Each structure stands twice: as C-alpha cells, then as structure tokens.
Structure 1
Amino acid sequence: MTKSAAARPGSSLVRRVAGVAGVALLAGTAAVGASGVAYSAPAAAPAPPAAPSVPSSVAPSATDFSDCPALPEGVDPARWRCEVHTAAPKLTMGKITVTLAPITMTHAEGPLPDGGKGQVWGAMHSSPTAVPGGLTGTPAGDHATALGLAIQPEYGGRSDFYTGQFSLRFRLLSPLLPPGCTIGADEPVDFQLKRSGPSTWISEDPPVIEFSAYDDTFTAPAAGHCGPLTGALNRRLGLPAAEGNLMSYDASYTFTTYDRLPAKNGR
C-alpha cells in the first residue's frame, strides 16, 4: 500500500493554501440515506454456533434497528429481515492510507410478491477521519488547524448486499475547502467486496456475525467541487488513481425479521 507523499514547504499546494480566503468551517457526523429495491440471488447464511453466547464486547449500535426501512407493499414481514452492519475499513486510495472511523449501514432484504429477491436501502452513518499530513502532506498539515484535512465516507446511491456491491463518496473536510469538496462528487466509487474467509458467529441471541472482505480492483476518481485548490489537492492525494487502491473491510452484522420490529418498520 502506498504511503502519503510529502509536499515540499515551497510546493504549489502550500502556496495556494496560504492564499485562499473564505474559510468554510466543517464538522459533525453525517447520516445519509436513500431507498430503492434491488434484485439478486441471496447468499447462504452461515450456520449458527452450537451454543449461544452474548459477548460483553457487542456494541449497542450492533443491535440498533431504528434505521430499518419500510417494506415494499405486499411482502410478508416474517420473510423479510433488517440487517445492520458495522465496520471500520482500512482504505488506501491514491497516495493516502487511513483506517476510517466506524461506519454503520442498514438495509432490508427478502422475497418480493413476484418471487424475485428484493432489497431496500435504509441508512448509513459515518464520522470524519483525519488524513495524515493534512492538506500539504507535511508535519504542518498535522499540527496547523487551517491545514488539516479529514475524509468522511457517504452513501453513493447504489448497493447490492447479496453480492457485496456498494458505492461510496468521500467528502473532504478542511477549513480551506468548500463544503461540497468530494472524491467521487459526480460519479461515486464502486466497490465489489470479496470475502477473505468464512463468516464467524459471535453470538446467537442477539445474532452477531463477523466477516472480513476486501476490494483491490476499484478505481479512485479525482476530487471535485473543491474550489481553487482542486488541482493541487488532487496532486497531493494522487488522484485519480486507476490501480494500487485497496479497501480492507472487517465488519460485523446482526439481523431481525420484520415481524419482530415495531409496526412503523413493517406493513
């Protein structure tokens, strides 16, 4: 995996950062959601353990079903399940490598009235992660607030959890960047995860399953809508990057059927 490239103090990015006015202060956690139905063949669920156990390490968010989406008309709630999965992916994209703050995704899946396999997107929650070296790729970028840089994944509008496909955009946060500055602003980054090994049941009640996956084939687009620093920022980040990118995805998920959820989630 490629490390961040350090920019020389006299580089064009440093000079342009120093000259930018109109600071946009950005902070907080984003919750992004959209809905839709996808069709695919379901993956086989791993077999449960012989004896149930509830580890003390299970986070409350792992069994939080508040983001479960409403079901399509005419489906059987007992045959649809809401899944919530949490992960802290390690991402190498261009010249940056970061371990992202935990993200949580919620979706529903089950049979449609016509016999097809359905999915409905629920929501995604994420937080910013600091990029080492900040805007300049130098120690100044780590220590000067104005030169700091953070990255925050957001749902990109496409997902198929039967096949491990989903898309993300990556918002770039800095006092010197406009709010819309995003990697994949016009076209999101598409991931096709491949399992690194078998799934493991951690708990049966509540059900908690761990798995590891990765994608080393995705293309990383340039950042866009970043104002006067767009070109210099992409050079500092090594974007666009057609190869050498990696998403390592260690995650856990839980699920419940819709007949066990409050009425607002099912029909």
Structure 2
Amino acid sequence: MRRLLAAAAAALSAAALVALPGHASAAPSPVPDFDFSACPAPPAGADPGTWRCEAFVSQGVLTIGERDIPLGEMRLTFSEGEVDGKYAQVFGELRHAPARIKDAFGASMQLKYGGYSDFLSNDERRGELDIYAVLRHPLLPRECTIGTRDAPLHSVVEDDPAVPFEVISQNPTTVKFGVVDTQIAVPRTTGCGPLSPVADHLLGLPSASGKNTFKQVTYVRFKPL
C-alpha cells in the first residue's frame, strides 16, 4: 500500500501546485461513508507518527466461468506503519452482507476473511487477500462454504486499467481505484451435505484458475493513528 500512498501524495502535491485546464473531472465521484471503528491499534513497539488506518469500501463482482455474481458492498480495514524502522501491517475486519446469487433458488453468498492479507503493493500486484464464501439458503447447512478458513481462496489483485487511480479528496485523503484478479481458483463446495452436487452444478464448481475473475472498484480513506 506504500505505492498507493506515494501515488496519492504525488497527485495531491500536483493539485496543490497547479490547476491545468481540461484536467478536471466532468462530475464528482460519489463518495461512500467510511467507518474507522474496526481499525486495529498499532502493535507494541510501533514507531510513533508512522501509523495510519485505511478504510476500504468496495463494490465487487465475482465471475465463475460465465456466471457473474454481483457481491454488493464490501468493507475492509487495516492499519499500517513501521516497527523498528520496518514496514508492518495489522488486519482489522472484513464486512460483507450476503449477496443474492441469480438463478440459484434464493441462495446467497457472504465473503469472510480467510486469515491472511498483504496490502504492501509492488510492481507485480496491488495486494493479496485470503477469503472464503459462506453459502446461505434454508436447505443448506450453516457450514456450507466455498473454501474454508483453513483452506481459503487466495486472491492476488492487480490494478484494473478500466478504473484508473483517482484522488477524490485532499482533506481527508480519499482515493479511488480498481483492482482485478484473473487467476483466482474456485474449489468445490464444502460442508453442504446432500445438496453439495446441486450447489456445485449450479455454480460450475470447481472452476480452475484462468476461468474466473474477481473485480473490485474501491474507495479508500486514510486516518492517522
């Protein structure tokens, strides 16, 4: 995420120094409300003045084969800074309301945090996140999932050129960008009981890497800690 911050800082500096005609947005982007209540505190030994919380609000779509599943709003928080002069980060929370799956007899999907994240971007990717999906339906057991906490889906996202990086606000610092994962693999369902074959057939599972896409349009706001 350091590269994201650097890009934001550069864009903000440029905006402060000069306003070029023809470069203004045609209309302001809609900005969601941000919630910092789940921001994790800096760890013991954190370098003072280096830590900030990042609150993400995303709209996502998971495509499995030829099936698009609009995921609606996802919210994520984490903190980052330095400990003994070295970069560190602490995950906060992933919130996602169940999203209805079209043509699946009323079933819905809710994403959960899979226990691993790395938001330090580099030249190859924007970040990494482990997730799994709980499938909800009156006929499905509560433990019916795609992936599990112990064996999650691993998503590695890259910048989406269709949604370029944009500075929305200078105070407080708020940015927008798009990310995409075209290599995510989606396994068979787990814990779905007798309806497992039905759920797998409806969703086209398993679906190998290269046949699926996970896209997000994300707004991020930064808060010093």
Q: TM-score, normalised by structure 1?
A: 0.71
Runs (4 or more) in structure 1 with deviation over 4 Å come to none
Amino acid paired to 1:177: L
Say what the alpha-carbon RMSD is for the aligned residues. Answer: 1.9
Contact 2:29/2:168 (8 A) holds in 1: no
Classify 1:95/1:236 alpha carbon distance in 2 versus 1 (closer, same or farther; 3 Å). farther
- Give per-residue Cα distances to partners, 1:24-60, cap 9 Å, x unaligned: xxxxxxxxxxxxxxxxx83252124325xxx693222
1:86 and 1:73 map into 2 onto residues whose CA distance is 28
Partner of 1:245: 212
Which of 165, 176, 190 aligns to 1:199? It is: 165
1:103–1:95: structure 2 CA closer, same or farther, 3 Å change rule?
same
Report Cα offsets for 1:112-145 as digits up to 9, x if no partner.
Answer: 11x32101000111101111111xxxxxx2xxxx
The aligned runs of 1:1-267 (5 Å cut-off) are: 42-45=2-5, 46=7, 47-49=10-12, 50=15, 57-60=30-33, 62=34, 64-94=35-65, 96-113=67-84, 115-134=85-104, 141=105, 148-163=106-121, 164-185=127-148, 186-197=150-161, 198-242=164-208, 243-258=210-225
Q: Give, in whole Å, the separation in 2 of the partners of 1:101 and 1:57.
A: 16
Moved more, 183-192 or 117-126: 183-192
* Distance apart, 1:76 and its partner CA: 2.5
Q: Which has the larger radius of gyration?
A: 1
| Aligned AA (1:122) | G
Code of the aligned partner of 2:93: A
Q: Secondary structure at 1:249's aligned position in 2?
A: strand
Corresponding letter in the other structure for 1:244: K
Shift of 1:111: 1.1
Is the contact made by 1:42 and 1:117 (CA closer than 8 Å) also made in structure 2? no
TM-score by length of 2: 0.83
Relative to structure 1, the CA distance from residue 77 to residue 181 in structure 2 (aligned partners, 3 Å threshold; closer, same or farther) is farther
Q: Which structure is richer in relative contact order (CA contacts within 8 A, separation 6 or more)?
A: 1
Distance (whole Å) between structure 1 residues aligned to residue 196 and residue 184 of structure 2: 22
Partner of 2:19: none
**Larger proportion of strand:** 2
- What secondary structure is seen at the aligned counterpart in 1 of 2:143? coil
Identity of aligned residues (%): 35
Residue pair 2:31, 2:219 contacting (<8 A) in 1 also: no
Mapped contact 2:99–2:110 kept (Cα < 8 A): yes
Q: Which runs of no fewer than 5 residues in structure 2 stay unpaired?
A: 17-27, 122-126
How many residues end up aligned between the 2 structures? 201
